[in-house]
Amino acid sequence: MQSNFSFLKTNWSNLAEIAELAEENLYQDPNTTIVKLRMFTEQIVDYIYAYDDLEEPEENSFFNKLKLLEREELIQGEIEDIFHTLRIEGNKGVHESLDSTETAKTMLSLSHKLANWFMQLYGDWNYEAGEFKLPEKNDEQKTDLTALEKKYDSLIEELQQEIDDLKKSQNSQEIESRKEK
């Protein structure tokens, strides 16, 4: 089955890969899915900060970054709710070892909505969102979690470098155009 996040590969291949790996762990290790989707969400926020040339808040927490996006009217309504739900449930995955397959399924669906919004606003305004489909359960699939963790760490490093490069290349005309949309 093709990943729900493959459409991100054109513009953000590392972001797509993190989400795809989160999908792969849904049934085998839902905690990994939950934690990685929170990381995916944080990376989207970092991209928004880079694209819109925003200064990070003095107290640089994920919550404060979201609050700044709200004040700047870059996120609102359903998208704002999705960001906060993914943040809160992701925190439970990290700090309380939340390991619920149902929560992971919901987070995948919400992450898909978020990814479509992100693609339409920062990638291709004319992008038509595809339908979300839960990954199929494959009992034969057993992933080497240590190798997977190393791959995640490498992806995060690559994403951070890409975001740093983006911050250096944004212009105010593009930023104003996105705010208008």
Give me the pLDDT at residue 175, please.
72
Average pLDDT over residues 86-92: 97
* 163 — pLDDT class (breaks 50, 70, 90): confident
Q: Which two tokens stand for residue 70?
A: 């709200």
* 76 — pLDDT class (breaks 50, 70, 90): very high
pTM of the model: 0.79
Average pLDDT over residues 58-84: 96
Q: How far apart are CA 82 and CA 108, in angstroms?
A: 11
Give yes or no for a contact between 52 and 175, defined as CB atoms under 8 angstroms apart.
yes
Average pLDDT over residues 118-127: 95
Distances (CA, A) of 59 to 66, 67, 91, 145: 12, 11, 18, 33
Q: How far apart are CA 57 and CA 40, in angstroms?
A: 20
Q: How far apart are CA 38 and CA 94, in angstroms?
A: 9
pLDDT tens digits, one per residue of 18-56? 999 999 999 999 999 999 999 999 999 999 999 999 999
Q: Is the pLDDT of residue 179 over 80?
A: no
Q: Which of 129, 126, 122, 117 is nearest to 177 (CA)?
A: 122
Distances (CA, A) of 20 to 3, 8, 56, 113: 6, 10, 28, 14
Give yes or no for a contact between 60 and 179, defined as CB atoms under 8 angstroms apart.
no
Q: Which of 18, 10, 71, 74 is nearest to 41 (CA)?
A: 18
Name the residue type at position 60. Answer: N
pLDDT tens digits, one per residue of 140-150? 555 566 666 77
* 129 — pLDDT class (breaks 50, 70, 90): very high
Give me the pLDDT at residue 180, please.
73
Give me the pLDDT at residue 176, please.
73
Give me the pLDDT at residue 144, please.
63
Give me the pLDDT at residue 39, please.
95
Give yes or no for a contact between 114 and 1, defined as CB atoms under 8 angstroms apart.
no
Average pLDDT over residues 129-138: 91
